[in-house]
Structure 1
Amino acid sequence: MTYTGDVQVGGPADVRELPRLTINKLAVGPYDNNAYLLHCVETGDGLLIDAAADADRLLALVADRPLSSIVTTHQHGDHWQALEQVVKVTGAQALAHPLDAPALPVPVDRTVEHGDRIAVGTVTLEVIHLRGHTPGSIALLYDGGGAEQHLFTGDSLFPGGVGNTRKDPERFTQLYTDVVERIFDRLPDETWVYPGHGKDTTLRAERPYLGEWRARGW
């Protein structure tokens, strides 16, 4: 089946099979958050991005496979409601940026900074710090080679714009600048974007509107 990234709360996960990595996207309530379970094809090792809510469904998705780590993209509570329970059941390590880690409900086992690497079996994800939505918001990049770039953006980049900066001009300018310099100026148009809520997008689809985003200020 072809991956679309269109998932609904209470519905099944959508699964993307890449040569070295399997991506499971699941929507959980009550705020229609996306959670992403990644598995290394070679080793079976797993990593969860945002244990947002509904621990039972997340644990059912993990099933009996190993889960070595859970990355929280930022400190907002709708992205970690299930974190404590999933950590308790699986024994996975909790990871977050140091500026947002103190707000999480569990002690963070490892803090990650811009440019750090997180292993999922034999695969690695690169941490990209995107300041503005929260001080410690991060994205995770899987480089599959060439145009095969897969970017998990939390609430920092969505179809149609950057994340919410509460109408703060300084925060918006910081987030917009980071998104342009650290994502759009660096990665190819084919890069697939997996956001923290809603549908996926690509950099190709969003790039023409960067000037419009800057002009409107949100």
Structure 2
Amino acid sequence: MDDRADDYTGEVTVGGGADVRELAHLTITKVAVDEKMSNNCYLLRCRETGEQLLVDAADSAGTLLPLVGDAGLRTVVTTHQHWDHHRALAAVVEATGAEVVAGVPDAAAITEQTGVPVTRPVGQGDTVTVGACALSVIAIAGHTPGSVALVYDDTADGGQHHLFTGDTLFPGGVGGTFGDAAAFQQLIGDVETKVFGTLPDATWFYPGHGSDSTLGAERPSLPQWRERGY
């Protein structure tokens, strides 16, 4: 199944409908929550087993839980420790009993802020599964110490790589480092080597806010991002 021919755009608005992408073995549902922050949340469902995984229970359990539905939720991955990415974590985990996954350096802060234990801390090269589908963990420091991205390889079925970046990479630049020059150098270095240095241009990425893009569309701008310092 070639997902490049689908009608998914990734353009979602708070209060509007979800956008759904059907891959050969995985369904990706994107929804935006919270008018102020406009966070993206991604529900992944294995088409073979029906198992589901949520990337960022950012807000609005009343929006997320109906998406989960009766199929249940096996896992919530929190991409990083910032408050706007886990406001619904406690409610979603209480309702579903889902396992909580986060990057090792951010795990304690997420638990402190939410009261929810991180049941599986992960790092570079770890694998998170959703049914029969495997997502590889990329650890990207700089925006926070323990930010993680997840990559799903659909190329065996005629598709592309799919990368969930949290707030580490957006169309037009990397995530914020709040004036910390050393943190920016860490972030841009990790993004260049671990993302652009390992994944092809056709890789479609799904950020924590706003529209999606591909690595090929963003790659020519890497020198400009490094020069401007954000």
Q: Same fold (TM over 0.5)?
A: yes
Name the aligned partner's letter for residue 70 of structure 2: D
Q: Mind listing any 5+ residue stretches in structure 2 that lack a counterpart?
A: 1-5
Aligned to 1:144: 154
Cα offset, 1:168, TM superposition: 1.1
Alignment of 1:126-165 (within 5 A): 126-145=136-155, 148-165=160-177
- Per-residue CA deviation, residues 156-203 of structure 1 (Å, 9 max, x unaligned), is 000000000112111000000000000101111000010000000000
**Equivalences for 1:176-215 in 2 at 5 Å?**
176-215=188-227
Q: CA deviation at 1:23?
A: 0.1
Residue 120 of structure 2 aligns with which residue? 110
Which residue type is aligned with residue 193 of structure 1? F
1:77 to 56, 76, 83: 83
Counterpart for residue 102 of structure 2: 96
Q: Counterparts of 2:50 and 2:103 in 1: how far apart (Å)?
A: 25
> Residue 124 of structure 1 aligns to which amino acid in structure 2?
A
Please give the TM-score of this superposition, normalised by the length of structure 1. Answer: 0.98
Question: What is the distance in 2 between the residues matched to 1:4 and 1:71?
Answer: 23
Runs (4+) off by over 4 Å: none
Query: Residue 24 of structure 2: which of 19, 22, 46 is its match?
Result: 19
Q: Aligned pair 1:59/2:82, yes or no?
A: no
Going by fraction, where is helix more abundant, 1 or 2?
2
The alignment's C-alpha RMSD in Å is 0.9
* Aligned pairs, number: 218
Q: What's the % identity of the aligned pairs?
A: 57
Specify the code of the residue in structure 1 equivalent to 2:54: L
Match of 1:204, SS? Answer: helix
> What are the Cα deviations for residues 121-148 of structure 1, in whole angstroms up to 9, with x where unaligned?
0001000001100000010000112661
TM-score, normalised to structure 2, is: 0.93
CA distance in 1, matches of 2:128, 2:226: 32
